[in-house]
Every structure is written in C-alpha cells, then in structure tokens.
Amino acid sequence: MNSHINRHKKKSNSNNQPTKVEEQVASTISVEKSNVKIALLPIDELKPHELGSPIYLELLKQEIIRDGVLKYPIIADEKTHVILDGMHRWLVLKSLGCKLIPVILVNALDNSNVRVGRRRIHRYIDDLHEHMNEEQVISAGRSGRLMKPRSTRHFFSFSRFQRVNYPISELNKDTTQDISKYLAKMDAEECKQAIEEWLDEITEELEFLTKRKEEVEREKEEFLSRIKCLNCNLLNP
C-alpha cells in the first residue's frame, strides 16, 4: 500500500471490538506531507456544512467500492471538524460503515490561504454577487442547518489531491449507517440537471484558463520582441 499516513499497528480483541490503540488512533496517526497534516479521525466527529447530491454520491461510491481504497483525504477545519472539502467521500465511507477517515486539518477561520467561493472559477476571480465566507460555512456545519448541495468551493494553498490510497478494509468497517438525512431530495430530472451544471462549471473554468493562457503567451511574445530590439551593447557591454 502506498499510504502516506503513518499509523500504529492495531490488533482487535476476540470480540472484534476496538482496542485502546484503535480508540486512540486519532491522536496517534498523523503525518506531515508537503506541509500538510493528515490525520485519521473517527468519522462521526466530522460535520458536513451542506447536503450531499444523490447522483454524485452514487458515482463516487461505485468508484471507491471498485478500487477498494480512498484515494484522497477529506479536508476539515481543525477546531470544529466541519468538512470543507470531501463531503461525498465522507458520506460514502459512513454508508459503508467505516469508523475512521483520513483528514487534512486546516485552520479555516484564521488562515488567509483558505478561501471559499460558490463556483470553481472563484479560485481566480471574485464575484461580489455570490459572496461566501468561512464563518457561514462553519456556522452551517456546527448548527446542522445544512446548505444546498455544492453551495461552496474551497480553495487552498496546497493541492487537494494529496493521494493516500487508504484501503477501506483498514478503516474499521462495521455496520452500515443511514445517511439519508444528509442527502438532498432529488428526482431523476434534477439529477440530470445537476450533472449538466457540474459540466458547465468545469467548462467555464477551462475557458477562463484557456483565455488566460493566451494572454500570458501574448505577453511573453511581446517581451521577447522587446528584447530583440535592445541595443546589443546593453546586453554585452
């Protein structure tokens, strides 16, 4: 296994109950990877701030069951354990009966490197008409008054794709949990619309990046042109 999470070896007792080592795993399992702290926490300590989408949950659940691993940890506020990124990964593991989950912990409220928007493109530009802040996110998670599915997009100074490939079988699987209260009520047509909206959002970001790439390439060409026009004596005195 190519897991980047250091952990104590665990042994279960004859009744298949968690040992003291397993119960203390949250405080003993952590690693610093690319200046990111990844911990293994009890799954019920995490709090969502928005509802999940049934269609996206099913897509992700099929992938995780097929692969047998959780590829990426979720990201949560270190003080409140409100989930910032990875709501559906959390839901999948709960539905499978996992008791533990890998988590990247960040200080959401006092960290200028943690930003939140409503669309993917808000990583690059601000939209005052769709303003969102971390206080709203944390409040929703702590109160249980969950926002609509995909209400927020979080942006970090590090890559969200800190791959851990953590085997599901090692996350203390037990009885499956009912997660219906965390899911939005969506019929088939609404699920189709949700997929279209996700694709539109990705397309919007790609179009922005393509335009930005063209601008930077043009800037580079203009700069090279100026260099060619320089008096050679300036470069070779």
Contact criterion met (CB below 8 Å) for 76 and 82: yes
Share above pLDDT 70 across residues of the chain, in percent, rounded to a whole number: 81
For the chain, which residues make up each domain, given as ranges?
A: 20-184, 189-235
CB 103: neighbour CB atoms within 10 A? 25
83-85/115-117 β-pairing: unpaired
Give the mean pLDDT of 143-156. Answer: 92
Q: What is the pLDDT of residue 228?
A: 80
Residue 185: CB partners within 8 Å, gap ≥ 6? none
Q: Which of 13, 49, 43, 48 is nearest to 26 (CA)?
A: 43
pLDDT of amino acid 128: 65
Instruction: Name every residue whose Cβ is closer than 8 Å to that of residue 30 and which is 6 or more positions away in sequence.
Output: 5, 6, 37, 38, 39, 40
Tens-digit pLDDT profile for residues 51-74: 999 999 999 999 999 999 999 999
Q: How confident is the model at residue 237 (pLDDT cuts 50, 70, 90)?
A: low
Do residues 210 and 128 make contact, with C-beta atoms less than 8 angstroms apart? no
Tally of CB atoms within 10 A around 219: 10
pLDDT in the model for residue 158? 85
pLDDT tens digits along 173-211: 888 999 999 999 999 999 999 999 999 999 999 999 999
Q: What are phi and psi of 92, to 5 degrees?
A: -60, -50
pLDDT at 93 over 50: yes
What are the pLDDT digits (tens) for 202-235?
Answer: 999 999 999 999 999 999 999 988 888 776 656 6
* pLDDT tens digits, one per residue of 94-112: 999 999 999 999 998 888 7
Coil/strand/helix, residue 96:
coil
Spell out the CATH class of 20-184.
alpha beta
Comparison of pLDDT for 160 and 194, the residue scoring more: 194
The pLDDT-based confidence of 142 (bands split at 50, 70, 90) is very high
- Chain-wide mean pLDDT for the chain? 83
- Using pLDDT thresholds of 50, 70 and 90, give the confidence band for residue 16: very low
Tell whether pTM > 0.95.
Answer: no
